[in-house]
Amino acid sequence: MEHAEIWDADAAGRYDTPGVGMFAPEVLGPAVERLRELAGGGRALEMAIGTGRVAVPLAATGVAVAGIELCQPMIDQLRTKASAHDIPVVLGDMTTARVDGEFNLVFLVFNGISNVLTQDAQIAVFKNAARHLAPRGRFVIELWVPDLRTLPPGRTGSVFAARPGYLGADVFDTVDQQVVSHHVTFGRDSGTNAQVFRSPHRYIWPAELDLMARICGFSLESRHGGWSGEPFTAESRDHVSVYRLS
């Protein structure tokens, strides 16, 4: 199960949820503002740009944004909101794809690096970010903290969300640091068929992420529990980590 196969035209068309969820202003606004600050007036490159959830509003602030995206249907959806002139995108794998020019900022948000399913390939993402950055440029990663404390002995799965019409559950392989997220949507009518969307990930602990960064010439500049500068603590479910190219 590869992400290039998962994100077909149907999935890309359902990805955008304007005004709610991860598109809600209180979620998106702080991320865009923080990235604008980190770009420092220079160009920004988004890896796994998707449908432009972050890139489009960031470009609207005056930042020159380019992208890398593995799945053509996601780019097609982005093109309904921004032209190739406004936000150029290279179709390709973020471990190897190259975008012309030099950037002050490379960013990879919403758990994007976990879509890369091996440690070697995740390190390759850092190496590719470094290739695109100007000296002392920054690489920003937004990533969730694996919630393995919810797993009792002998159990391999946990429910992370349950609300009317939706159930989310993760199934873990703790030996290989793999997890498959299951997103189940259904109607309130018991006769309505459920739809299941599955996505595979390789989870990364913050300390492992920092070591990947060091291998590739980065050092950790800051880590927060969210885009608004919340402290990162043992209870944080996510982190925003800013790495500086040495």
Per-residue pLDDT in tens (0 to 9) along the chain, 246 residues: 566 667 788 888 888 888 988 999 999 999 999 999 999 999 999 999 999 999 999 999 999 999 999 999 999 999 999 999 999 999 999 999 999 999 999 999 999 999 999 999 999 999 999 999 999 999 999 999 998 888 888 889 999 899 998 999 999 999 999 999 999 988 766 556 888 989 999 999 999 999 999 999 999 999 999 999 999 999 999 999 999 998
Residue 10: C-alpha distances to residues 39, 72, 147, 192 (Å) = 33, 12, 30, 19
How many helices (H) and strands (E) the chain has is answered by 7, 11
Domain that holds residue 155: 148-200
Helix ranges restricted to H, 17-111 = 25-39, 55-60, 72-78
Could you tell me if 91 and 208 lie in one domain?
yes
- Give SS3 for 95: coil
- Phi–psi pair at 38, nearest 5 degrees: -70, -30
Among 188, 189, 186, 213, smallest CA distance to 197 is for 186
Q: Examine the domain organization and report whether 228 and 130 are in the same domain.
A: yes
Q: Report which DSSP code applies to 147.
A: -
Q: What is the pLDDT of residue 119?
A: 98
Mark whether 17 and 72 lie in a shared domain.
Answer: yes
Regarding whether 68 and 20 lie in a shared domain, the answer is: yes
Handedness of CA 213, 214, 218, 222 (dihedral sign): positive
Q: Do 159 and 229 lie in a common domain?
A: no
* Structural domains in the chain (count): 2
Q: Do 132 and 172 sit in the same domain of this protein? A: no
Q: What is the pLDDT of residue 11?
A: 81
Backbone angles phi, psi at 16, to 5 degrees: -75, 130
pLDDT for residue 189: 60
Same-domain check for residues 181 and 131: no
Shared-domain flag, residues 138 and 218: yes
3-state secondary structure of 202: strand
pLDDT reported for residue 150: 82
82 and 171 share one domain: no
- Residue among 113, 121, 128, 109 at smallest CA distance from 217: 128
172 close to 182: Cβ distance less than 8 angstroms: no
Question: CA torsion sign, 116 to 69 to 144 to 181?
Answer: negative
64 and 113 assigned to the same domain: yes
